[in-house]
Amino acid sequence: MKSAHKILICFSFALLFLNACALKKVKSNAAPVTHEQWTVLLQKHVDENGNVNYGGFAQDSVDFNRYLGLLKTHHPNDSWSSDERKAYWVNAYNAFTVKLIVDNYPIRSIKDLGGAIYKVNTPWDNRFILIEGYDYDLNNIEHDILREEWSDPRIHFAVNCASISCPKLLNVAFNANSLDKQLDKVAAGFINGDKNDIQTGQAKLSRIFKWFNGDFTKEGSLIEFLNKYSSVQINADAALDYQAYDWSLNGH
């Protein structure tokens, strides 16, 4: 059993290496896209609290597939600005996550759609995303592209994993012209929302801050990062704890 486990670990790292190499070889002449179609769909099927009407997306399949088709035929490239690429990949992550749920609806949790071996058979390792001939999974987009290229911790509040404890799915598309303001908005919204219990002397935080601690502490402590957005300023010596994560579906 230990040998099999080691083989799986080695296989996972090999996949990471191959994915990283593949991403660097992408060639595309596609022009930057706008995401108005995605905003229209989000406004119809996601409320202000981030509750998603997956049944509504399914009924709106013609328009939804038209937007996915736009993503599939326009791969980001060096002619795009940094914010155009970044907005594209955030929107793509969210749209293809919704697609994964819609294609398997109804389900209780996104975790019902795969196994538990990270980078091997989880729902986020399902390589169902084809963009100009290049195939991706959700892990590729989040970890190999978004986190690797930009090192922006606010990305964690922009991508949505279809679960109750995730940062909510914003009901407008991210766009290059206002991306920085949008990322600040979702960071402040999540940190001050009901997924965290923040007080001056203590804080019980989302597990996102534990899982990706290194992303939030590249320029200081976790508390220093939180205090950039928190309406309650946390003492430097405050006790930190982490909430249980609810993977139940974030809608119906």
Task: Give the model confidence (pLDDT) of 89-144 as tens digits.
Answer: 999 999 999 999 999 999 999 999 999 898 899 999 999 999 999 999 999 999 99
| Spans of the chain, pLDDT less than 50 | 1-23
Q: Peptide bond before 106: cis, by omega within 30 degrees of 0?
A: yes
Spatial separation of the C-alpha atoms in residues 241 and 177, rounded to whole Å: 37
Spatial separation of the C-alpha atoms in residues 72 and 70, rounded to whole Å: 5
Q: What is the pLDDT of residue 2?
A: 44
Residue type, 148: E
Tokens found for residue 34 = 């706008």
Q: What is the pLDDT of residue 24?
A: 53
Q: What is the pLDDT of residue 26?
A: 76
Q: What is the pLDDT of residue 1?
A: 44
Q: What is the pLDDT of residue 111?
A: 97
Spatial separation of the C-alpha atoms in residues 222 and 185, rounded to whole Å: 19
CB 113 within 8 A of CB 249: no
Question: What does pTM read for this prediction?
Answer: 0.90
